[in-house]
């Protein structure tokens, strides 16, 4: 049976972005209905032209960064959208603070979304926060 999974990405650290991306990609590709809401520092990695690496929180983050064969979180989020129809939604407040629009983000991103809308769409599903 298809589940509904809503993920909130807030932290800009490597471990949290990686874990969120792993869950989003596997769940979406397994037929779950996945929505990822990006706000705060997590959103900044998806601004076109930015190449900043997400800092590691600890040992595992450093291993993730240095090991070949670890799928990068941006690739996993993209696969979640392309292979599993996951919705990637930018927080409208974060876009306002950054003074950018949806067009400044990677093309996989959906429309700017406010909290009221996100919370009402997320009702009844499983909500995970990173």
Partner 1 sequence: MSQEKVVDARNTFCPGPLMELISNMKQASIGDVIELLSTDEGSGNDVPEWVNKIGHELVSSQNIDGVWHIKIRKVK
Q: State the nearest-atom distance from the C-beta of 42 to partner 1, in Å.
A: 19
Write out the two tokens for 128: 């995970």
Nearer to partner 1, 43 or 76 (CB): 76
From the list 50, 57, 58, 83, which residue makes contact with partner 1 (rule: CB under 8 A)? 83
**34 is a contact residue toward partner 1 (CB under 8 A):** no
Stretch that binds partner 1, among 9-17, 47-55, 69-77, 104-112 (CB under 8 A): 69-77
Nearer to partner 1, 83 or 115 (CB): 83
Binding positions for partner 1, rule: CB under 8 A: 22, 25-26, 29-31, 67-71, 76, 79, 83
């Amino acid at each position: 049976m298809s589940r509904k999974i809503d993920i909130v990405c807030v932290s800009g650290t490597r471990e949290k972005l990686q874990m969120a991306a792993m869950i989003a990609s596997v769940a979406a590709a397994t037929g779950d209905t996945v929505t990822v809401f990006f706000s705060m520092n997590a959103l900044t990695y998806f601004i076109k032209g930015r190449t900043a690496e997400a800092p590691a929180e600890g040992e595992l983050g450093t291993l993730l960064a240095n090991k070949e064969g670890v799928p990068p979180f941006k690739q996993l989020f993209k696969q979640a959208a392309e292979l599993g129809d996951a919705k990637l939604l930018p927080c409208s407040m974060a876009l306002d603070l950054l003074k950018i629009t949806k067009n400044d983000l990677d093309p996989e991103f959906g429309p700017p979304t406010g909290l009221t809308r996100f919370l009402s769409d997320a009702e009844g599903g499983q909500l995970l926060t990173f």
